[in-house]
Structure 1
Amino acid sequence: MRSGTGFDLAGEIVELGAGVSDFKPGDKVIAINFPTGGGLAEYAVAPASLTVSRPAEVSAVEGASLPTAASTALQQLKAAGVSSFDGSGSGSGAASTDNGPKNVLVTAASGGVGHYAVQLAKLAGLHVTATCGARNLGFVAGLGADEALDYKTPEGARLHNPSGKRYDAVAHCATGTPWSVFAPVLADRATVVDVTPGLAAAARSLLQKVTFARQRLVPLLVVPKKEEMEWLVELTRQGKLRTVVDSRYPLSRAQEAWAKSIEGHATGKIVVEMGGEEE
């Protein structure tokens, strides 16, 4: 079986390139096929540096969902100053006046990246406020969010949580939120890590950097790392990180899957399957 989500894929090794000795034909693996191509094909070439083993406890669908989305969520939180995911809540960096961020906001928390960010933030022992649509409030609460905001309500649009806590860090997975909305709800030293930055975000980030602003917007350029992929797979194997699949499509309907992904309203991940039974 092969499953894919964009550049991510899970499958079985058919052939090895020259110099590759860590794997053998028949091995079940998870990989990121970037930048040479995508995962939506029956066969794909993936770099060994971005390929990891898939244990039997992790399904192909789970494996295909993890690499980019979960890695993005992890790197978001690290960029915000979180360094420990053992439940202690300790971190390092400018996002906190003490030992790292304590209160974190995750926007678009029911999406592919956001639903991992909520879970990883809870593994870090943080207080998590999550924004999503009304239909997903219970869903993000089930992921561990302490507070959930409907982004279409006045309070949700202002990112104002019921407890009145100010955010030390924001894992920003949505689009179209101006800095003027973030500023009133941020702690004195806070970091907003944006995974969908535009030109305005880049300009503001540069201005804040040169003026030594205490509140910072950080555009995130995700660089996949094999060791992080292995760690995320192990979390999944242990049952500490859950992948929620919004929908599954056969390869013949990959265009529909891509269109639904572009709409931006999926709950969790969208997976394209290449046929066969899930392993």
Structure 2
Amino acid sequence: NPASISTMDVHSPLTDVAGVVAGVGPGVNDFAVGDQVVAMLNSMNGGGLAEYAVAAANLTVKRTPNVSAAEGAGLPIAAGTALQALRSIGAKFDGTGEPLNVLVTAASGGVGLYAVQLAKLANLHVTATCGARNAELVRGLGADEVLDYRTPEGAAMRSPSGRRYDGVVHCTVGVGWPAFEPLMAPRGKVVDITPNFSAMLTSALHAVTLRRKRLVPLLLSPNKADLEFLVGLVEEGKLRTVVDSRFPLGDAAKAWQKSIDGHATGKIVVEMEG
């Protein structure tokens, strides 16, 4: 509807939206006109860059007035990916998890900023890479160690405290398995959220040979339970959406170009006028 917000992600066929329900289809009993919601759309069936969007009930959750549209719209893809990546490493959010050491690459991006926060909520030790200009932001969101990726130390990605990584949430491109392998604990996992063909082959080889250290490609598995969990964290003040910039719908092309450029700090949002 006209109050909705869509977030940009050039790497995914999915779209994040948040807004107010303008109508419900037959058989939908959990939502009513006027409900404030967050939803994930499949762009193959129509994306979110429009005044109105059709969302599936099983990928839509309510949000309270404490969760703004901009805060909610960043969650489905970026925070959902971060959550599933951390869970695949072994992170738990009920207080029963082990004190793992994790590395988050490109930690000032859309997924990375959520990954840092969620890792700290799971009581993990977090080493993060980002540009120098975003180091204080990433540290303020919970990172224990921050490396400037433009420096030799940052490019090496070694923990300043000498820790081996139990897991890596790999949010950037151009860094392959050979760079990570010597940094990993004996059963460490590198979860690649933007795997290329080479990464898929490496992962398959690791699976076939039963490697203990391994590369794991992540393809987001959309589900309502994860989205409800994330919206709840925002409502409780435990999770923050960092907004890089906002564009009106008429400037959606500019927002798309900024997303393609790949240097946004957090989420880019497109706001519907009206």
TM-score (norm 2): 0.94
Letter in 1 for 2:22: V
1:65 to partner: Cα distance: 1.1
Structure 1 residues without counterparts, runs of 5 or longer: 92-98
Rounded Cα–Cα distance in structure 1 between residues aligned with 2:7 and 2:72: 10
Stretch of structure 1 that moved more, 122-131 or 59-68: 59-68
Alpha-carbon separation, structure 2, partners of 1:26 and 1:178: 47
3-state DSSP of counterpart to 1:33: strand
Alpha-carbon distance in structure 2 between the residues aligned to 1:167 and 1:236: 28
**Does residue 224 of the first structure (1) align with residue 222 of the second (2)?**
yes
1:36 aligns with 2:45: yes
Runs of 4+ in 1 over 4 A off after TM superposition: none
Partner of 1:20, secondary structure, is coil
Partner of 1:26: 34
2:193 is matched by which residue type in structure 1?
Answer: V
Following superposition, the deviation at residue 271 of structure 1 comes to: 0.4
**Aligned residue for 2:67?**
58
Q: How does 1:120-139 map to 2 (within 5 A)?
A: 120-139=118-137
The equivalent position to 1:208 in structure 2, one of 206, 209, 231, is 206
In 2, the alpha carbon distance for the partners of 1:243 and 1:26 equals 23
Report the number of matched residues: 265
Q: Aligned letter for 1:66?
A: L
Q: Which amino acid aligns with 1:105?
A: L
Q: Within 5 Å, which residues of 2 pair with 1:99-248?
A: 99=98, 102-248=100-246
- Hey, what does 1:71 align to over in structure 2? 80
Determine if contact 1:155/1:161 at 8 Å carries over to the other structure: no
- Distance in 1 separating the partners of 2:61 and 2:176: 38
Give the drift of 1:249: 0.4
What RMSD over aligned residues (CA atoms) do the two structures have, in Å? 1.1
Structure 1 CA distance for aligned equivalents of residues 219 and 29 of structure 2: 30
Q: In structure 2, which of residues 38, 56, 75 is the aligned counterpart of residue 47 of structure 1? A: 56
**C-alpha separation between the residues in 1 aligned to 2:48 and 2:88?**
27
TM-score scaled by length of structure 1: 0.93
Task: Report the AA paired with residue 24 of structure 1.
Answer: A
Which of 17, 25, 28 matches 1:17?
25
Matched to 1:71, the amino acid is: G
The equivalent residue for 2:7 is 5
Cα shift at 1:262: 1.2
Q: What are the superposed Cα offsets for residues 191-235 of structure 1, whole Å, 9 maximum, x if unpaired?
A: 000000001000000111111111010000101110110110000
What is the CA distance between 1:36 and its match in structure 2?
1.5
Q: CA deviation at 1:260?
A: 0.6
Q: 1:191 aligns to what SS in structure 2? A: strand
Identical-residue share of aligned pairs (%) = 62
Say which SS state the counterpart of residue 163 (structure 1) adopts. Answer: coil
Q: Distance in 1 between matches of 2:159 and 2:131?
A: 15
What residue in structure 2 maps to residue 94 of structure 1?
none
Deviation at 1:27, TM superposition (A): 1.0
